[in-house]
Amino acid sequence: MLFRSAKMAKQKKSRCYYAVVTILCVVPIILLMCGAGLLLETNTRSMNIDLYNKRATEWNTTGLKEFEGMHILAQIPDHKKEMDPVTTSTGVFYPVRDSCNRDGDPEEGCVYTSALYYKVDIPFSNSSLPFTLSHDKSLIVEDTLVPVVERKLYVHDLNCDHDTTQCVNECNKYHGEWNSKEETCTYNDYISRVCYRVNLKNNRLVLDKPAAWDLSTQNVGCEYGNKWAPFVYSTEKKSVIPIEIRYYKDSAISASFYTEGCSDSSLEEAKCMGITHKEASQVGISVTVIGICILAVTLIGVAIVNRCRRDEKEEEKPLTDRKSVV
């Protein structure tokens, strides 16, 4: 019985040993694969800058002129107002939020542009608010402003690993309420902005659907980061809600597409066009070297442990067995 227990203990110990060895070997292999991927992957920064520049140049040369002087009427119950043109650009390196002067960038850098869109501010309402936008008496869109949307987040969304204290802290960031029984965080999202993307057809503004320029979406909003949905929500409640109309050639929309939403969320230099080929290579080399070092240390450690295990087995052999070997 004691012999069987000792044997089972050794088998369990061996399984643990092989599990640890497997994990230690997998980690550097993953690092080596990531490093190789970074070294071999085609860098898209220069290509995205070129593609963005073509659209931004089109905005500068034709889009701005086509979109000037629009008379767009916004109507909510008991109130009408003409939308105002906005030509003030915000932040630095508008609209891409990238200096575009790093190693490997095109010589001309990024095309920076002027801004032009139309906006009207409406007061926040706690109840749903129907509204229409029209151009020269031609309807562009008829929609309803939904002021508040209740949302739920789960443990995996909050990344709190069923730790109540951590989950509550994460939920508080959304100004939400944590339900310990259901392990859900319920919070309110408030409407903060509305933006529609439009096209010009037969001298009339219409929703840009399907998108005249590829945006990989069927929605008619203005931001990649909002999945091109026109209604933008936030956990912060605002007293005034801007409604905007932007032309499909707008450079801000093109920047949003090619930076995958980075330019939507920053007003400063944020390297939104991504890392350069040189930077990717440096990271790839670093990751590869780290992977090789970890793998080498792991293999040396495994060799030493195996040698010790063999010596241990030799010492455990009965004396008669060792004599017979001699």
Q: Are residues 182 and 287 in the same domain?
A: no
- DSSP characters over 49-70: HHHHHHHHHHIIIIIHHHHTT-
> pTM to 2 decimals?
0.76
Contact present, 273 and 49 (Cβ < 8 Å): yes
Domain total in the chain: 2
Beta bridge partners of 184: 154, 179
pLDDT tens across 100-123, in order? 998 888 889 999 999 999 999 999
pLDDT in the model for residue 97? 96
Q: Are residues 61 and 169 in the same domain?
A: yes
pLDDT band of 303, cuts 50, 70, 90: confident
Q: Where does 232-276 have alpha helices with state H?
A: 251-258
**Cα–Cα distance between 282 and 131 in angstroms, integer?**
53
Q: Are residues 81 and 164 in the same domain?
A: yes
Q: Are residues 4 and 59 in the same domain?
A: no
What number of helices (H) and strands (E) belong to the chain? 8, 12
Q: Are residues 54 and 192 in the same domain?
A: yes
**Cα–Cα distance between 100 and 297 in angstroms, integer?**
41
In the structure encoding, which two tokens stand for residue 136, read together? Answer: 């020269």
Tell me the residue range of the domain where 39 lies.
Answer: 1-43+276-294
pLDDT in the model for residue 19? 66
